[in-house]
Structure 1
Amino acid sequence: MQPITSNIDRSLFARIAEGDEQAFEQLYHSYLPELYPVIMQVVRTELVVKDIIQEVFLYLWMDREKLSGIEEPRHWIFRMAYNRSYSWVKKQIVREKAAADMQQAQQNISTEETEDAIAFSEASRLVQEAIGQLAAKSQQIYRLSREEGLKPAAIADLLQMDVQVVKNSLYRSGKTIKTYLATRGIIIPIALFIAAQ
């Protein structure tokens, strides 16, 4: 697709500033083929290219009220893409350095720390096993609380139950998990698995 003119760009920006989704889609599809190879040259990872393009256009849409004042939309879009691409590269360098440092540190882990990690992994596995032993409704309540982070009141609303029933279920589930672990020789404070209600 040929690049669209500055006048059309400005017109699209003005329409997007008013919340015109069709104009947004037109702009997106016009620039996608141009932005893709430019960003790829910098980051060299397809998934990252897609993420950066999404970020640029998400920012454009979220901050659309300011678009009508931009004189050179093309320049603005490419500047945003370059800035985000180079920012990603800088962060990646830091991440790679941190990963190298972590790898070096892991080579120096003591036997005791390794055993602790294995014990924790086993405890986590047993917790999941214990959850699997709960009644279906208790499992559902427990997972909504611990995995989805919902409060008892929110769970009660979602499942159309009394909030006290939810709290009682969470308490009983916590005790069951603690007992299950204890019978397998693992004594862990229940607070690690049962969050405050």
Structure 2
Amino acid sequence: MDSNKGKMGNGDAVWDRFVQGDESCFRRLFKIHFDSMYGYGIKLCSRPELVRDCIQELFKTLWERRDELEHIESPNVYLFVSLRRKIITRQKAQRKLDGDLEEVDEGKFTQFAREEIIIKDEVKFQQKEELKKALNQLSDRQKEVIFLHFYNGMSYREIEQILSINRQSVRNHIYRGMETLRSILDTEIMKLVISLLVTFLLFV
């Protein structure tokens, strides 16, 4: 998606300088990506401390292995993929330590909170509640794809890489998710949904 290029263009330049060993760019890279990575991570496991720890560990590893990262074409995708893997690995390790034999659900994606869809003051409280409930009726994978695409400006290709699914599956999840919303919401609120999601894409 071209809308993401403007946002990530500067980030890519910072990445290149970080790879060359610029510590100030390394700190800036952390600042640029932390909020979006934390927002995604908290959806995967709902444990703020674990997510923060994983992000900190990931950036520590990035600095230590920066000489190996020149080949990375999309820093944004690399960071999201790495964070996803690290969180799942940590969850599995914790369960093993606790003696919990239940498998970690790698496709689990937590619910949307109302504050995540508030971007227009004129949106009524009741409409926000209905929209939140509708979004949370989507499957975990539909929610994750919509979150990555509309909330983080990820292209289909980037989502394909992050979730290790083909591009048609990405399209299908978005299409079916929107169809589910249309079946739940009345016309007025559905127009609001489209307006909100388009706004996310424009200003992400």
Normalising by the smaller structure, the TM-score range is: 0.3 to 0.5
Query: Whose relative contact order is higher, 1 or 2, with alpha carbons under 8 Å and at least 6 apart?
Result: 2
| Larger Rg belongs to | 1
